[in-house]
Amino acid sequence: MLEAVNLSCARGERRLFSGLNFSLPAGSYLQAFGPNGSGKTSLLRIVCGLAAPAAGEVRWDGTDIVGLGEEYFGAIAYVAHQNGVKDELDPIENLRISSGVAGNALSKREAQAVLERVGLGKQQHLPARLLSAGQRRRLALSRLLASRARLWVLDEPLASLDDDGARLARKLISEHLTSAGMAIIATHQEMGLSAGQVQRIEL
Amino acid sequence: MLATLFFFVIVVSLYPLGIGPEVQLLRRIAPGVVWVAALLASMLSLGRLFGNDYQDGSLEQILLTPQPVYLVVVGKVFAHWLVSEIPLVVIAPVVGLQFGLSENILAIIVASLLLGTPVLSLIGSIGAALTLGLRSANVLVAILVLPLYVPVLIFGAGAIEASIGGLSAKPYLLLQAAALILAVVFAPWATSAALRISVE
């Protein structure tokens, strides 16, 4: 269970949002809408613990995440605007390294299976610099499949994906929600997921 | 990565070429030259320590892993040391020959570089983490980090100088080892804090 209590965020002199409250039980997702620059990414970074809120706190199972530290990081997976993909490595190496660092080591075969699922089966031995923007996005999303995180924090997950990719991303998130996961999604388009309780906030 | 090595070799070689073949003078300046060149060379590669990870978004992912950031930093700094500092240690005896130094003095040079270069990487990682994403990062790193390198320079050059003068280099090497232990304990901690600030 994730709770935000009276969150506010300031960038320099500008106050992006304040007094934001929500609570997210298992099996539900929160969709944050808002125009460019309204603080969607800032909200996600605060929820992840990468940035500190100007006021308020984020609680995970009732405890402030500042005190939880690494225990909390083990429970979340963040797909940021930047994919975190290393150009010199191929998709298998990228996936195995990032999953290994995140504490879920994958064997080569497991990594191949995950990549097949996200539609990168044919590209698994190409250096990532040869991948298109959409394929890189798929690679970033493949990390979610490899992780055991309960909370997925997704920044524009559908960005640069084709129709097929967007369908796949929706399916993955829906499955995650069905198995009692949670998700926070910043996007300007309706996600329209088939599973999970939705909450919407407008920033 | 090879750029660091060539920079070191060229800087160290410029002195004998510029000063001429006076063995006495060359022996006198060798300790300082080797160490100053090592300091400058090790600064060259600091930008790459976290720079690429910061740009492609991997750094955020690394900071969000259930591992202590301290350990991640130790791993990154160790890798940086292996790739960009160990070659200097290996090549140092060869370039040291230009200064007319004997074998046991060359051995002391290797020992002092072996103890001192990890300290350079560790202290440098603090500067590299603090200046992430800044426009004039390279200049700022130099200003931040070079003053902190001074103890390494003094003890490192001191060890070589003592052995050239026929004294024991041991006290200097022990002081270098002490500096290394201090740096291993405290620098990754400071670097992790700096990374959190830079990413925010």
| pLDDT for res A185 | 93
A180: tokens are: 């009692």
Residues of B whose CB is below 8 A from A84: 56-58, 60-61
Angle at B188 between CA B187 and CA B193, to 5 degrees: 100
Query: Please, is B191 exposed, middle or buried when counting C-beta atoms within 10 Å of its C-beta (0-12, 13-18, 19+)?
Result: buried
Q: Which residues contact B101 (CB under 8 A, 6 or more apart)?
A: B27, B30, B109, B164
A99 close to B (CB below 8 A): no
| pLDDT over threshold 80, residue B108 | yes
Half-sphere exposure of A197 (CA within 13 A, CB side): 8
The ipTM, to two decimals, is 0.87
- Sheet (strand A63-64) strand order: A14-24, A2-11, A55-60, A63-64
Residues of A whose CB is below 8 A from B60: 50, 78, 80, 82, 84
- Taking each helix axis from N to C terminus, what angle separates B2-19 and B23-44, rounded to the nearest 10 degrees? 160
Q: Between B58, B60, B72, which is nearest A86 by CB?
A: B58
* pTM exceeding 0.90: no
For a pLDDT cut of 90, what percent of chain B falls above it? 69
| pLDDT over threshold 90, residue B3 | no
B56 contacts A103? CB cut-off 8 A = no
| pLDDT for res B81 | 95
Residues of B whose CB is below 8 A from A105: none
Query: DSSP state, B98?
Result: G
Q: Is the Cβ–Cβ distance between B95 and B12 less than 8 Å? A: yes
CA of B58 to nearest chain A CA: how many angstroms apart? 4
Confidence grade of residue B183 (pLDDT, cut at 50, 70, 90): very high
A65: tokens are: 């995440």
CATH number of A1-75+151-203: 3.40.50.300
* Residue type for position B171: P
Q: Residue range A169-197: average pLDDT?
A: 88
The model's pLDDT over A149-176, given as tens digits with 9 standing for 90+, comes to 999 999 999 888 999 999 999 999 999 9
| pLDDT for res A193 | 83
| pLDDT for res B199 | 87
Residues of B whose CB is below 8 A from A101: 61-62, 65, 67, 72
A78 contacts B64? CB cut-off 8 A = yes
Q: Residue range A82-107: average pLDDT?
A: 90
B68 close to A (CB below 8 A): yes
Q: Is the Cβ–Cβ distance between A27 and A176 less than 8 Å? A: no
A77: tokens are: 């997976």
| pLDDT over threshold 90, residue B1 | no
| pLDDT over threshold 90, residue B173 | yes
| pLDDT for res B146 | 93
The model's pLDDT over B55-71, given as tens digits with 9 standing for 90+, comes to 998 999 999 988 889 99
CA of A79 to nearest chain B CA: how many angstroms apart? 8
| pLDDT for res A196 | 80
How many Å apart are CA A22 and CA A6, to the nearest integer? Answer: 9
Q: Is the Cβ–Cβ distance between A172 and A141 less than 8 Å? A: yes
| pLDDT for res A178 | 92
A49 contacts B58? CB cut-off 8 A = no
Least confident of A76-80, A100-104, B101-105, B194-198: A100-104
Confidence grade of residue B94 (pLDDT, cut at 50, 70, 90): very high
Residues of A whose CB is below 8 A from B66: 70-71, 73-74, 102-103
Residues 73-92 of chain A with CB under 8 A from chain B are 73-74, 76, 78, 80-87
Angle at A136 between CA A133 and CA A142, to 5 degrees: 145
A37 close to B (CB below 8 A): no
Q: Which residues contact B136 (CB under 8 A, 6 or more apart)?
A: none
Mean pLDDT across chain B, nearest whole number?
Answer: 92
